[in-house]
Amino acid sequence: MSTTPASASAEVSTSDFRGPGSWWIILAVFLTLATLYSLIVPITQGEDELAHYRYLSFIAQTGRLPQDYAERQQAWYRADWPPLYHLLVGWLISPLDTTQPHLKDVGDSPRRRLVGEIFYPRLLIYTEDALWPWQDGILAWHLGRFVSIIFSAGALGFTYLTVLEMNRGVGEQGGRGDFSSPLPLRSPAPLLALAATALLAFTPRYLFTSAMLGDDSLFVLLSAVFIWLLLRVVRGEDRWWVYALMGLALGLSIVTKYSTGLLPLVIIPLALRQVRQARWSWRHALGRVGLTWLFTALGASWWFGWIGYYFNTIKDDGLILACSNRCWPPAPM
């Protein structure tokens, strides 16, 4: 039975993990090392971990995001920023009582601030509450760390697929961006993909960040998905749902961290390239751009709608300043 170029390409992608046992070895070693990091490193030692915990703890207790400035202050300074990671983990740990045990927080102590001028002090005074078996808030903290590890492992998978995609041969272009049967992978491609994946997986900073409570892991995963889909589109993939998934991944990454906020513009030069090289009509190109932006908006609009509804200061500050303050709040003092 013959297969279309697009389906053949998809079959290659879905079978990419079946052959190389080395990929699974890399994944297993990464999961082992990251888990050890998460178990050994004391809580609050990751970047902004205490702030992330307070934010998702508020969500776990209330079942929603902060609705006013008093609640944002209660949820601490990360409550100004995109909440997708905190919503996911917050809903996961909602059955737990995150108000217990009482954490001996010395982060706001003037004495700690004085010591901080000399060396990095701990944010908490550690007690037996943090020891095994974990309960309530301590269990919630470690569950959040394990979720971060899973997200980072997924990012490794898409890193592997992206490097494989970069090394695929490309056939002649057909109409509307379709390609005739893609050439097979170049011989060193799997080895190169494994090397790139291992380089990322075993970078100490990546391991450490992956094992901590924080939104970086989810952001990296969603960004990796977007880059892989974008590369597929560059190579001639033209099915509508690929553009929809690409836009959705981009929108969700924006409501995880704002760093990808300008990436929706990338689809414009891509569409222009396809008009010139793949003989797309302008109507088809605009349709693909619009489809991507539509799903980007679907992925991100709920967060901007929330802050627009509950934190609207346009009347007092004006449109530009109000939007700037809500989307890019000033750094905490």
**Ranges of H-type helices in the chain:** 5-14, 21-40, 49-62, 69-75, 84-92, 110-115, 136-166, 189-201, 204-210, 216-234, 240-254, 267-277, 282-310, 314-317, 319-327
Tell me which DSSP letter residue 120 carries.
-
Within a domain: 84: yes
What end-to-end distance do the CA atoms of the chain give, in Å?
65
- Is residue 130, in this structure, part of any structural domain at all? no
Residue 118: the pLDDT is 44
Q: How far apart are CA 199 and CA 57, in angstroms?
A: 34
Report helix, strand or coil for 124: strand
- Classified as helix, coil or strand, 93 is coil
Q: What residue ranges of the chain have pLDDT lower than 50?
A: 1-14, 19, 118-119, 170-183, 185, 332-333
Q: Which long-range contacts (CB under 8 A, 24 or more apart) does 188-191 make?
A: 189/163, 189/164, 190/19, 190/20, 190/164
Q: Which residues contact 278 (CB under 8 A, 6 or more apart)?
A: 173, 174, 175, 176, 177, 178, 236
Residue 108 domain-assigned (yes or no): no
CA pair distance 114, 109, nearest whole angstrom: 9
- Bond prior to 101 in cis (omega within 30° of 0): yes
pLDDT at 281: 86
Please report whether residue 173 resides in a domain: yes
Q: Is 62 among the domain residues?
A: yes
**Does some domain include residue 294?**
yes
Q: Is residue 105 part of a domain?
A: no
31 assigned to some structural domain: yes
Domain count of the fold of the chain: 1
**Per-residue confidence (pLDDT) for residue 253, from 0 to 100:** 96
Domain of 200 in residue numbering reads as 19-100+135-327
Q: What pTM value is reported for the model?
A: 0.80
